[in-house]
Structure 1
Amino acid sequence: NSVAGHKASLPNTNIYAASKFAVTALTETMRLEFKTEGTKIKVTSISPGAVRTEILPEAMINSGIPLLEAEDIAEAVLYVVGTPPRVQVHELTIKPVCESF
């Protein structure tokens, strides 16, 4: 997912933000359905801020805004899957220090 799926704060991202809000709704309804069915399936929405990847525009990379690295997200995923069966990490929002949105 993305932080854009929780707060629409960036202009010119209408379709992107809408798709991320949809992912937020999907993960929450899946979690509730699994809970209702009594399964032990855990659903976690991991929502990072801007991550330095090859799809990030060069202008954004060079803008000086703080960026996460892909390794930061990988470590978060390892944390979530490493929790005991009794633990449900519902939502994990990851932002770089001093991110403005």
Structure 2
Amino acid sequence: MGIEKYAGRVAAITGASSGIGAGIAQELLKHGINVVGLARRVEQVKALEVKGLPGKLYALQCDVGKEESILSAFKWIRENLKGVDILINSAGVDHETDFISGKTEHWRQMFEVNELGLAICSREAVQDMMRRGVDDGFIIHISSTAAHIPIFNDGLGMHSANKTAVRIMAEGLRKDLVAKKSKIRVGQISPGVVKTPVLTQSDKFAKTFADMPCLQVEDLANAVVYMLSQPPRVQVHEMIIRPTGEYYE
């Protein structure tokens, strides 16, 4: 049995309003999974709904950079949908910032969303699964190849530091679950450059990535489906996906 075992169950996806999170949400809906799209821009999540898909979409406002917002969202899911079976941590914040002149508020926001928010979401999802006796749940972090090889351009070191932390956090969570004798699985997907609005959020980003080969959002969505489709005895720790022709150092 593949991904169909999750049909009718609940997946929470952070950062679901656009980009990778939105693409994953739409793909899971096609497989009959009920999706709670978490994002600050809740109207953009609602716009993802496509009539006729077997899964049901719930758009829920949530700021992953604020603990009270996360706790409120998971409380709503427990009270209205019984709880989460899958969590996709896709939300992320990046700024054009270097270690010499970068702004503290930018670094703080990146940490609060990319690491702390991810950790809180994962904690709440795992506690919810364990409370309900769900032993086939799944936590998936969307990371980056920058977690393995720092990006070669200046000004993106904090991005690499963030993604490296996400990789270590995934391994730490996995070990914690094994110690609890839980079969909840943890996976991480590390893509190279993906064509999303993030690539044009600053002049530096636009220039850096303008001529690079890019993955498409659906490539990441397909990777999530692959990970979820594996039998219970198989845990895919990480998938590294690069666009063909990408040059890296």
Same fold (TM over 0.5): yes
The one-letter amino acid of 2:165's match is A
Q: In the alignment, does 2:233 pair up with 1:86?
A: yes
Q: How far apart, CA to CA, are the structure 1 residues paired with 2:194 and 2:207?
A: 13
1:55 maps to 2:198: yes
Rg comparison, structure with higher value:
2
**Retained in 1: the 8 A contact 2:151–2:157?**
no
Question: For the residues of structure 1 that align with 2:156 and 2:208, how far apart are their CA atoms?
Answer: 14
Q: Per-residue deviation at 1:59?
A: 3.2
Relative contact order higher in (CA < 8 Å, ≥ 6 apart): 1
Partner of 1:32: 175
Counterpart-to-counterpart distance in 2, 1:38 and 1:100: 41
CA distance in structure 1 between the partners assigned to 2:174 and 2:146 by the alignment:
20
- RMSD of aligned residue pairs (Cα, Å): 1.3
Question: What's 1:8 paired with?
Answer: 150
SS at 2:174 equivalent: helix
Superposed CA offset, 1:59-101 (max 9, x none): 355x321100000000000000111111100110010112112
Superposed structure 1 runs of 4+ greater than 6 Å apart: none
* Cα separation, 1, equivalents of 2:246 and 2:208: 13
Secondary structure in structure 1 of the residue aligned to 2:186: coil
Residue 67 of structure 1 corresponds to: 214
If the length of structure 2 is used for normalisation, what is the TM-score? 0.39
Q: 1:20 aligns with which of 152, 160, 163?
A: 163
Identity %: 38
- Number of residue pairs matched by the alignment: 100
Q: State how 1:89-100 maps to structure 2 within 5 Å.
A: 89-100=236-247
CA distance in structure 1 between the aligned counterparts of 2:149 and 2:207, rounded to whole angstroms: 23
Task: Give the residue type in structure 1 aligned to 2:144.
Answer: S
Structure 1 gaps of 5+ residues are: none
| C-alpha distance in structure 1 between counterparts of 2:198 and 2:243, whole Å | 18
2-side partners of 1:8 and 1:59: how far apart? 18
Residue 41 (structure 1) aligned with residue 184 (structure 2): yes
TM-score after normalising by structure 1: 0.91
Q: Matches of 2:246 and 2:180 in 1, distance apart?
A: 39
> For residues 9 and 65 of structure 1, what CA distance do their matches in structure 2 show?
13
Contact 2:147 2:161 in 1 (8 A): yes
Which amino acid in the other structure matches residue 39 of structure 1?
S
Q: What amino acid sits opposite 2:224 in the alignment? A: V
